[in-house]
Amino acid sequence: MSPYPKQCPQCKTYFPGVWKECNRCKVRLVNARAAHVMKWLKVICVLVTLWVLVAASTYCIQPAERQLYERAYACLKEGRYGDAQKQWRRAFARSPYVTGARSLVEEIKARLRKHT
């Protein structure tokens, strides 16, 4: 039996995608384990996509730090994960994301100080 039946066994409603349960008679269509695996696969997909976007964008907007990113990648390929992480951290610390977040934190701190 397929883990994702497309038709409800009770009312014979057809479901075009993956549905957890029939929305008419609330019969479970996907077994609990498959639903669990699907949920985590989705989370991992989103995280990987976000990571790739951040990595690609930092590479594009930091032409001065490209060498560091390239060195990190070279270390990663050679299996020197510690070195790769060091290079990547040095480059990422100068990225607009980090500097932006830092200035935001500073501003929040300054405002909090004013109010107390």
Q: How far is the CB of 15 from Zn ion (least distance, A)?
A: 9
Q: Which residues contact 9 (CB under 8 A, 6 or more apart)?
A: 27
Q: Does position 11 bind Zn ion by CB under 5 A?
A: yes
Give me the least distance between CB of 23 and Zn ion, in Å please: 8
Residue 22 within binding range of Zn ion, rule CB under 5 A: yes
Residue 26 engages Zn ion in binding (rule: CB under 5 A): no
Q: Which of 10, 49, 67, 99 binds Zn ion (CB under 5 A)?
A: 10
Q: Which of 6, 24, 28, 66 binds Zn ion (CB under 5 A)?
A: 24
- Percent helix, percent strand, percent coil in the chain, to nearest 5: 70, 5, 30
Asked if 75 is part of the footprint of Zn ion (rule: CB under 5 A), the reply reads: no
Q: How far is the CB of 8 from Zn ion (least distance, A)?
A: 3
| 84 Cβ contact partners less than 8 Å away, ≥ 6 residues apart | 72, 73, 75, 76
Taking the complex as a whole, how short is the minimal distance between the CB of residue 35 and Zn ion, in angstroms?
17
